[in-house]
Amino acid sequence: MKTLVVIKPDGVERGLVGEIISRFEKYGFSIKAIKITQLNRETAERLYAVHEGKTFFDDLIQYVTSGHIIPLVIEMKDSGIEEGIKLIRKIVGATNPLEAEMGSIRGDYASDISYNIVHASDSEKSNSYETPIFFNKEEILD
């Protein structure tokens, strides 16, 4: 099972990239693709299209385009996609850091619901849509 995780600008700026990646590796995930980039508005709007029209949409787009991000594809062998995504979502923590469990990435490092360190696909459907925004098939290792 492979899925997308994106370390957002606040995670990169705060020097948390290694810590975030190591959290996934400690649970048995391996990196299959990784890059550093900065989103333009068009790409950010495509990534967060499900939130278009919501009150926080413009702030989210401004935030995610404000600095470098690190998208990565991670894999857990012998795991179904939905099972793997559930584990990733537990490692990441609730979107609102006030609701995220301590020990999760957001529970330990996020300061605000808008600045929540990391994005992770929340379903097989969103993963299928989101991963190609960042990676083509040739960039993802088997």
DSSP 69-126: BEEEEEE-TT--HHHHHHHHHHHH--SSTTTSPBTBHHHHH--SSSS-SEEE--SHHH
What is the predicted pLDDT for the residue at 19? 97
- Position 126 confidence tier, pLDDT thresholds 50, 70, 90: very high
Residue 80: what pLDDT? Answer: 79
Average pLDDT value for residue range 111-133? 93
User: Helix 81-92 vs helix 17-26: angle between axes, to the nearest 10 degrees?
Assistant: 130
β-strand pairing of 2-7 with 70-75? antiparallel
120 confidence band (pLDDT: 50, 70, 90): very high
Domains of the chain (ranges; CATH) run 2-135 (3.30.70.141)
29-56 pLDDT, tens per residue?
999 999 999 999 999 999 999 999 999 9
pLDDT number for residue 114: 86
Say yes or no to pLDDT of 81 above 90: no
Residue 34 pairs in a beta bridge with 72
**Catalytic sites, residue numbers:** 119
Q: For residues 82-99, give the mean pLDDT.
A: 92
Helices and strands of the chain, counted as H and E runs: 7, 4
Q: Please state the pTM of the whole predicted model.
A: 0.94
Give the bridge partners for 120, in sequence order.
5
Q: What percent of the chain has pLDDT over 90?
A: 85
How much is the pLDDT for 127? 93
